[in-house]
Amino acid sequence: MSTQTLETRTRTTGIQMMTQPSKSRLVRALARHLVTIVIICFLLYPVAWLVAASFRPDNQVLSTLGLFGRFTLDNYRHGLNPAPSLHFSRFFLNSAVVALLAVIGNVFACTLTAYAFARLDFPFKRVLFAVLMATILLPYHVTLVPQYILFDKLSWLNTYIPLVLPKFLGADAFFIFLNIQFIRALPRELDDSARVDGCNHWQIFRRIIVPLSLPAMGTTAMFTFIASWNDFLGPLLYLSKTQLYTVPLGLNMFIDATGRSSYGSLFAMAVLSLVPLVAFFLAAQRMLTQGITTTGLK
Amino acid sequence: MTTYEETVAGQDASGATPTREKSRRKRKWRSALTAYAFLTPWLLGLVVITLGPMLFSLYLAFTRYDLLSPPKWVGLANFRRMFGADPRFWQSVRVTLTFVLVSVPLVLIVSLLLALFLNRGIRLLGIYRTLFYVPSLIGSSVAIAILWKQVFGTFGIVNRALEVVGLHHGSWVGNPGTALYSIIGLNLWAFGSTMIIFLAGLRQVPANLYEAASVDGAHVFQRFWHITLPQLTPLIFFNVLLDTVHAFQAFTGAYVVSGGSGGPSDSLLFYTLYLYQKGFVEFQMGYAAAMAWLLLAALAVFTAIAFSTARFWVHYGDEA
């Protein structure tokens, strides 16, 4: 926007205005759009190809660079029901359960913790805040081995507890930080007047902070959903029973189990696995892009 | 927690009027208790999920442990083996460092250039931004890793496109010389999230700086070098830090494309993939813990360097 104002300024004040008719400006704008669209097409072409290939008959899946050809739903039929006792929708259900619990857990733990850091005074606040910030950059792998041992000793392997419990305990420090920043920006006068009206901290939290932090909580929820849906390492470690598999594990099993001949069903399931992500994204894209721009989230 | 508040409130109402000092201390005490009630889940997690495991993993790093018999103290043996007697460890370090050093700058440069291009008062920016973000949204999924394996395979679309212009190349993911570049490509493909941060930063640059510069006769490149770039340094710093920390921990793409093996001649043996193999395939938990601590040390050194050099090159608006 800033550069635009600048350009308009130079054009209207400078001599350029006489020599550069608005026609060339239009051409430049069109060129700009054209370049952008070409780059986007190039970027999204592999995805479009994946979708197209998933609808092609099995013997033609890999045969063409183009996006069009004979259309069939066979890949989806075979992919969803690869074996008599196995239905791919099971993996979707599992993934949905895990992602939903992860979202609830993360939103719950992050807002509670953030409220304390943003609004309350307590001993060791500075130390604990420093610890919180340090854990943001802590690589996941340092705690991976002992966590695995712990969950193994508790006989929690092949349950969803290892995937979900850390979320309820605020293990994702980044989102706590995001919520702290958001709550800090809310006017304190609201809390004060609520306190005058006789609210305790829990009531202030429930009736004032939570409704006002819905954007931050929404951002947390969306990114937790995406991360949980895409998570591969966690389920790979903790789940070995096929019935418990999440979608990424199901897809990975497909690669191992099937030869080249069934690329079609593999692609079909890959496409289906992306549908919830894209659907959520389209529904909440404004919130997401704002979340990224304000916090630098990935 | 609510019950606690209610009890205290009840006491207040029924008890004799305390002195002012006493009530002040009581209030402070109560608010500390309330705060810790709010913090309980996180503190529990900090102890049980983070700090406890960290200490235990530090201990494990000096042991041999296969989950079946109790850990056996071996002193520095894991580290000696890592540095002296494990060529695959060095290979994993090489692969990861190459990935970080090629991939992170590439992502930063591409996303900065595109952000500059898109920032020029373009219409439909919202839609474009959305479309550029799609790869970041799905880039870390197994589905896309599967696609990538195909795209860069012998019969993949990259090769087919190359054939159209008359070039022949075997499988990219099957060739030790090029496999890593397919994963670098995958990471670069998802540059959208970094670009969106830069775009937001570009919108914050005060217009009057450019106006002053153009009065002084600065041309496009000078304006970029003396105004845009310094104004963006906080975000560049932020992106370098986050992208690097993430790149060090890349896993899914390498695992799926190489089928968990680390690829041809270990060319996709990322550090985290090797750690996974040691810990969770071969059950050498002590060795894996030692590797994890080395990763932590490397990232700590990197973060420390980044922060200590920041004051020389990161400019904040209010200082200028």
pLDDT value of position A245: 96
DSSP element (H, E) containing B63? strand B63-64
Average pLDDT of chain B, as a whole number: 88
pLDDT at A10: 43
Contact assessment for residue B285 and residue B60, using Cβ atoms and an 8 Å cutoff? yes
Residue A16: what pLDDT? Answer: 44
Among B5, B211, B285, the residue with its CB nearest the CB of A9 is B211
pLDDT score at B278: 96
> Which pLDDT tens digit goes with each residue over B199-213?
988 988 888 888 888
Report CB contact under 8 Å: A7, B121: yes
What does the pLDDT read at residue A13?
Answer: 42
Mean pLDDT value across residues A114-139 = 93
- On chain B, the residues whose CB falls within 8 A of the CB of A121 are 28, 31-32, 35
Confidence of residue A8 (pLDDT cuts 50, 70, 90): very low
Residue B10, pLDDT above cutoff 50: no
**Chain A residues with beta carbon closer than 8 angstroms to that of B127:** none
Range of lowest pLDDT (A90-99, A275-284, B134-143, B155-164): B155-164
Does B102 or A27 have the greater pLDDT score?
B102
Chain B residues with CB-CB distance to A298 below 8 A: 136, 193, 242, 246
Please tell me the predicted confidence (pLDDT) of residue B156: 81
What pLDDT was estimated at residue A147? 95
The partner residues of A83 in beta bridges, in order of sequence, read A86
Q: Does residue A290 or residue B318 have the better pLDDT?
A: A290
Backbone angles phi, psi at A120, to 5 degrees: -110, 155
Distance from C-alpha of B63 to C-alpha of B287, rounded to nearest angstrom: 8
**Amino acid B152: pLDDT:** 87
Phi, psi of B307, rounded to the nearest 5 degrees: -70, -35
**Cα separation, A214 vs A209, whole angstroms:** 9
Q: Residue A200 and residue B135: Cβ atoms within 8 Å? A: no
- Whole-angstrom Cα distance, residue A2 to residue A8? 10
The reported pLDDT for the residue numbered B211 is 85
User: What's the pLDDT score for residue B217?
Assistant: 84
Does residue B176 have a pLDDT over 70? yes
Q: What is the pLDDT of residue A226?
A: 93
Residue A143 distance to chain B (closest CA, Å): 5
Residue A258 has what pLDDT?
58
Calculate helix-pair angle for B20-45, A89-119, nearest 10 degrees.
150
Q: Is the pLDDT of residue A12 over 50?
A: no
Least confident span in A108-112, A265-269, B167-171, B227-231: B167-171
A115 touches chain B (CB under 8 A): yes
Band of pLDDT at residue A257, cut at 50, 70 and 90 = low
Q: At what angle do helices B207-215 and A2-13 cross, to 10 degrees?
A: 30
Alpha-carbon distances of A85 from A82, A90, A242, A270, B196, rounded to whole Å? 9, 11, 11, 20, 45
Share of chain B above pLDDT 90, in %: 60
A193-244 residue pLDDT tens: 998 998 988 999 999 999 999 989 998 999 999 999 999 999 999 999 999 9
Q: CA nearest B47 in A: which residue? A: A169
Contact B247, B159 (CB under 8 A): no
- Phi/psi of residue A83, each to 5°? -140, 155
State residue B272's pLDDT score: 96
**Taking the model in full, what pTM does it have?**
0.87
CB spacing of B133 vs A288 below 8 angstroms: yes
Q: Is the pLDDT of residue A3 over 50?
A: no
Top-confidence residue, B163 or A179 = A179
CB contact under 8 A, A297 and B193: yes
Percent of chain A topping pLDDT 90: 58
Interchain CB contact of A156 with B (< 8 Å): no
Residues A281, B134: C-beta atoms closer than 8 Å: yes
pLDDT at B81 over 50: yes
Query: Measured between alpha carbons, how far is residue A102 from residues A218, A236, A277, A288, B314 in Å?
Result: 13, 17, 15, 18, 36
Read off the pLDDT band of B292 (50, 70, 90): very high
Q: How many beta-carbon pairs below 8 A join chains A and B?
A: 285
| Shortest distance, CA B85 to any CA of chain A (angstroms) | 22
The pLDDT confidence band at residue B186, using thresholds 50, 70 and 90, is: very high
What ipTM did this prediction achieve? 0.85
Q: Mean pLDDT, to the nearest integer, of B3-24? A: 56
CB contact under 8 A, B118 and A237: no
**Any CB–CB contact under 8 A between A277 and chain B?**
yes
Distance from the Cα of A72 to chain B's closest Cα (Å) equals: 20
Min distance A17 CA to chain B CA atoms (Å): 16
CB contact at 8 A, A93 and A246: no
CB B99 within 8 A of CB B184: yes
Taking residues B247-251, report their average pLDDT: 94
Q: Which residue on chain A is closest to B9 by alpha carbon?
A: A200
Instruction: Answer whether residue B7 shows pLDDT above 70.
Output: no
Question: Cβ atoms within 10 A of the Cβ of B303, count?
Answer: 15
Does residue B99 register a pLDDT over 90? yes
Percent with pLDDT over 70 in chain A:
89
